[in-house]
Amino acid sequence: MSVNASYPSAQPNDGFTLWLTGLSGAGKTTIALALEAELRGRGVRVERLDGDVVREGLTRDLGFSKEDRDKNIERVTFVAKLLSRNGVGVIASFISPYRDARDKARRETTNFIEVFVNASLDTCIKRDVKGMYAKAIAGEIKQFTGISDPYEAPEAAELTLVTDNESVEQSVARILEYLESRGLIAPVAVSAGAEVI
């Protein structure tokens, strides 16, 4: 994988902000959890910020209007900025439907990487064990992204994961490869005496 020459040189101890965006049910949290475990296993300092968890604490006062969604992402961006500039890898998994809010996160955080977790609406609906899409389609839930509220897909994400036909393991492997290519994490060392094929 080639590395864009416009990126500043990075070291494995530099922080980064890996921003997973996509519809509810696309696989953001599942990928983030698996990625977090892999990075911690490699000794990487990492913190995971997840939409549902953050709304239970940091942004519990906010609703789902565009203004409140923007405030939600603004607060998360502030946390990610503090962590990433102090050498922590941040995995942020949020629907974050608006490009302007994601662009602001890009400007304010260290080594921002936008990851579009892309799954079709039909796939997301099939994966919805909570029945949220069904309620939104029936009009019982207002301002639901992908149904009654828009989702502005990334136009130039660093990575696009098509989770309709890509396993969690494949998605995580692609993210790790990208982080290695940017010099943000060290490659896994081949143990002494191991056969290299």
Domain ranges of the chain: 16-181
Specify the pTM.
Answer: 0.85
Contacts of 39 (CB under 8 A, 6+ apart): 46, 89, 91, 185
Establish whether 9 is a catalytic residue. no
**pLDDT tens for each residue of 7-58:** 545 555 689 999 999 999 999 999 999 999 999 999 999 999 986 666 666 6
- Taking the C-alpha atoms of residue 182 and residue 124, their distance in angstroms, rounded to an integer, is 31
Looking at the domain 16-181, which fold is it? Rossmann fold (3.40.50)
Catalytic residue, chosen from 24, 84, 93, 96, is: 96
